[in-house]
Structure 1
């Protein structure tokens, strides 16, 4: 198979399309606008291949013909265990999965890295047309790190309809009522005049900002803005004692992922590292400051909302002063009269 520049048109009547999305939490959020666009074009005919619980957490509002859980891909900290009755395509059982999918005239893969199971599935499935970001597809989207990752993913549906606009599909995941209720209860328990700063610091070690620096930053920020409250979301608790302002830092660690999304969505500002919650804030339209060390903010930073990125060679080189200045600049642009 070779790369092709020939664009497919929205007039093409794809009767049995399928799309594959696997990876981490952030990968699903990055692909969300693109998958929404594909589903809208396919009008209920799209089959989705994804990790268990991904449909419920990220894609409950997509009109799909079927969902095929793929348990041999791993996604940590995404939610509940798969249902006992769910099909289990393990041990490279691509033939079984291909048989369940049936005839496939269009296959789209949102993978950003080669996975042997996908290569084997494509060989067995034999779709009429395939589109992906990696070698081995009929239409190979050139994988560049220069455009934003969301724009790169959105290049797949634009192969089907060139007039699609990513902004028309850039909204947060549709969350369950329980998650929205929990977030709403939290907001109602806080003073009405409070300005809420969502903070997320959980990530891989090389992308994490030192907790002591984060604690110092929050202390200085809360000193400046007496109506501000910081809400820290993530897996691990925020244990840094920031002293005089400790009562204005709420640690919402270990809650279900949709509830964490909902809490970020009700905040006024966001501060975080290169991780899934930054994308959540972006899709909710929450202005934010993103901290980046080895990764590139032009690829994985904010895409849609007002923002500032603070970048250094390593996360440890990012100073408290630079982050404080960025956060203060953002505050003044969002709240010019406060």
Structure 2
């Protein structure tokens, strides 16, 4: 335990934790948030977006949830009080946390912006999950991010749904595909169609489940009878399908992080973002990055070759059966 703060933790009555609350960033932050909750003995109030708070709520690590407002003064009003403010986000705008500090006057604040009483060191050369974990290891240097990297918790209903889907395809290997994210990080949909057709023609014991919010018609290919659209499901049901998969192929998005935490072997396609920082951290993986950062310059042939090699390594080639 850090000598400066070990004596204070037990006396903290209302600690508050802010974090980077996009779905993907929340998943990458989960090991840190779990560790902090344990250190604070479950007393922490979590501040985040409505969507991310559903993930936190399922974890059972929060004493209270506060929906974050765009206006930091409104967030402070909803929070009411705190004696420790933890800003678990290296990219937190300093004026946001600063306003909350000015309103609530916590005895201690820890985070990356310089206006915290204790500032953590920026290091964007390491994986985001490791940089964020500094907020936990600051209090206890013996903690390791891997010890808190279990899969996100899901409800019985979501798990039963995923199991029921899997049971319909006994004898087949299941690959979940997620092709949507922000425009600059997307691989062209036409490329995805061609890739899936090539992969399905090679691995005839494979089915593909497509998750996401929109409809991308990836079954519009010759082998499309083994492509099942699961698009439009809730986030938690999509996560459950990823968790039950044998492999995952996708872009830099939240579902790649879900695969990572469920230890599903994953292939991630990257353009402008750095896979060393935003890719898989815990599972077997293959990161394929477009030369120059433009994903439309990443050819189907290059990706297919890397996919074949990776799937062979994890046992797909050895389990080939001529089912279809």
TM-score (norm 2): 0.90
Tell me if 1:13 matches 2:13.
Answer: no
Quote how far apart the aligned CAs of 1:181 are.
Answer: 1.6
- Residues 1:64 and 1:195: Cα distance change in structure 2 (over 3 Å): same
| 1:337 counterpart (296, 314, 318) | 318
Residue 237 of structure 2 aligns to a residue in which SS?
helix
Runs of 4+ in structure 1 displaced over 4 angstroms?
Answer: 6-11
Quote how far apart the aligned CAs of 1:57 are.
Answer: 2.5
| 2:267 counterpart (289, 305, 330) | 289
Partner residue in 1 for 2:301: 321
Residue 337 of structure 1 aligns to a residue in which SS?
helix
Deviations 1:138-195 (A, max 9, x none): 22222222100000111100001000011111012111122112111111111x2211
Distance 2:262 2:58 in 1: 17
- Residues 1:240 and 1:97: Cα distance change in structure 2 (over 3 Å): closer
Structure 2 contact 73–103 (Cα < 8 Å) conserved: no
Partner residue in 1 for 2:154: 175
Deviations 1:2-61 (A, max 9, x none): xxxx87454543422211124311111111110000001111221212222533334422
Structure 1 contact 19–49 (Cα < 8 Å) conserved: yes
Distance 1:236 1:333 in 2: 32
Residue 134 of structure 1 aligns to a residue in which SS?
coil
Quote how far apart the aligned CAs of 1:323 are.
Answer: 1.2
Structure 1 contact 22–51 (Cα < 8 Å) conserved: no
Partner residue in 2 for 1:252: 230
- Residues 1:241 and 1:45: Cα distance change in structure 2 (over 3 Å): closer
Quote how far apart the aligned CAs of 1:65 are.
Answer: 2.4
Structure 1 contact 291–309 (Cα < 8 Å) conserved: yes
Partner residue in 1 for 2:42: 44
Structure 1 contact 29–58 (Cα < 8 Å) conserved: no
Residue 244 of structure 1 aligns to a residue in which SS?
coil
- Residues 1:271 and 1:165: Cα distance change in structure 2 (over 3 Å): same
Distance 2:248 2:76 in 1: 45
Residue 198 of structure 1 aligns to a residue in which SS?
strand
Where do residues 1-338 of structure 1 align in structure 2 (5 Å cutoff)? 8-14=4-10, 15-16=12-13, 17-70=15-68, 72-73=69-70, 92-98=73-79, 100=80, 102-104=81-83, 106-111=84-89, 112-114=91-93, 116-190=95-169, 192-240=170-218, 242-312=220-290, 313-335=293-315, 337-338=318-319
Quote how far apart the aligned CAs of 1:215 are.
Answer: 0.5
Distance 2:193 2:146 in 1: 35
Instruction: Tell which deviates more after alignment, 31-40 or 112-121.
Output: 112-121
Distance 2:6 2:171 in 1: 48
The gaps in structure 2 that reach 5 residues or longer are 320-324
Distance 1:60 1:259 in 2: 13
Partner residue in 2 for 1:76: none
Distance 2:193 2:75 in 1: 48
Structure 1 contact 237–253 (Cα < 8 Å) conserved: yes
Deviations 1:214-266 (A, max 9, x none): 10100000000000011110011121454321110111111100000000000
The gaps in structure 1 that reach 5 residues or longer are 1-5, 74-89
Distance 2:210 2:61 in 1: 34
Quote how far apart the aligned CAs of 1:103 are.
Answer: 4.2
Structure 1 contact 36–62 (Cα < 8 Å) conserved: no
